[in-house]
Amino acid sequence: MRILITNDDGIYSPGIASLAKVARKFGQVKLVAPDVEQSSMGHAVTHSRPLSYKKSPIEFPDVEAYRVNGTPADCVAMGTHLWNDVDVVLSGINMGPNLGNSMWHSGTLAAAKQAVLFGIKGIALSTPVGDTEPNFEALEPYVEQTLDLLLKDKELALYNVNFPAHPTDMMWTRQSVRLYDGTIIPGTDPLGRKHYWFTVSPLGPADEGTDRWAVENNLVSITPLRLDLTDEAVLAKKLMDQR
Ligand code: MN
């Protein structure tokens, strides 16, 4: 199996190293990831300047690593250009959760989406980060179990996986859809100029069966996603009204 790995935290993130270590048990692995952090870049692609890549000095045994001056989606395009017949794109392990509404902004998930747009299975993997770095070594058995489960299936698919800090089991979930308070917090820089932070927190508790609920209950959340955003119920009603 040919496994292309990328992320949005950049090639030097400990999360991508941990994922590469586990993925090697499942096949050949190449890393093609952004040279600097690209978190919350969503599905942006670079079109107004050329892309370039450099072989990264990071030493993974039997793994080539390349850093790209672009977004996570660019890295999937570059990775599949450099390497034919990729079977799956893994994105992560992101330092920070990608639950519920944050899927809209996630660069981690965008890389997996880009893979599916190319006809390749895409899996995004994330974990929360607190005051200390995530304990990736402790997560490894759960990452392996998840890959074992999701790589067996040969169907083209898109999955969003979130690991709690201390998992006890896994759960199939749906996306938590809640409105959030997109609050702008003003501040001042050292020269006294005004600047602003855009902060995001969900309004209301998570419903049972959702990705947020699973992670709050120490369960690995696996959400199957699709690219078609069409609201089928509204479309059916509009087509009916038109008659
Ligand atoms: Mn990130």
Q: Does a structural domain hold residue 162?
A: yes
Q: Does a structural domain hold residue 193?
A: no
Q: Dig out the tokens for 99 from the structure.
A: 């639950």
φ/ψ (deg, to 5) at 26: -105, -10
* Domain total of the chain: 1
Cβ density class 82-99: b for 16+ within 10 Å, e for less: ebeebebbbbbbbbbbbb
Q: Does a structural domain hold residue 95?
A: yes
The tens digit of pLDDT for each residue in 173-213 reads: 999 987 777 789 999 999 999 999 988 777 788 899 999 99
CATH of the domain at 93: 3.40.1210.10
Q: Does a structural domain hold residue 189?
A: no
Q: Could you tell me the distance, in angstroms and rounded to a whole number, from the CA of residue 74 to the centre of ligand 1?
A: 15
Q: Could you tell me the distance, in angstroms and rounded to a whole number, from the CA of residue 95 to the centre of ligand 1?
A: 6
Q: Could you tell me the distance, in angstroms and rounded to a whole number, from the CA of residue 105 to the centre of ligand 1?
A: 10
Q: Could you tell me the distance, in angstroms and rounded to a whole number, from the CA of residue 17 to the centre of ligand 1?
A: 14
215: left (phi over 0), alpha (psi -120 to 50) or beta: alpha
- How big, in percent rounded to 5, are the helix, strand and coil portions of the chain? 30, 30, 40
What is the domain range of residue 9?
2-177+206-242
Angle between helices 72-82 and 107-117 (to 10 degrees): 40
Q: Does a structural domain hold residue 165?
A: yes
Q: What is the pLDDT of residue 59?
A: 66
With contact defined as beta carbons under 8 Å apart, do 92 and 19 qualify? yes
Q: Could you tell me the distance, in angstroms and rounded to a whole number, from the CA of residue 237 to the centre of ligand 1?
A: 39
With contact defined as beta carbons under 8 Å apart, do 71 and 45 qualify? yes
- Residues 156-175, mean pLDDT to the nearest whole number: 97
Q: What is the pLDDT of residue 199?
A: 84
The tens digit of pLDDT for each residue in 93-116 reads: 999 999 998 899 999 999 999 999
CA distances from 73 to 43, 100, 193 (A): 6, 20, 34
Q: Does a structural domain hold residue 159?
A: yes
**180 in helix, strand or coil?**
strand
Q: Does a structural domain hold residue 186?
A: no
3 CB-near residues (< 8 Å, 6+ apart):
23, 26, 27, 28, 29, 30, 86, 87, 88, 89, 90
Q: Could you tell me the distance, in angstroms and rounded to a whole number, from the CA of residue 165 to the centre of ligand 1?
A: 16
Q: Does a structural domain hold residue 163?
A: yes
Q: What is the pLDDT of residue 48?
A: 95
The tens digit of pLDDT for each residue in 104-148 reads: 999 999 999 999 999 999 999 999 998 889 999 999 999 999 999
Q: What is the pLDDT of residue 203?
A: 75
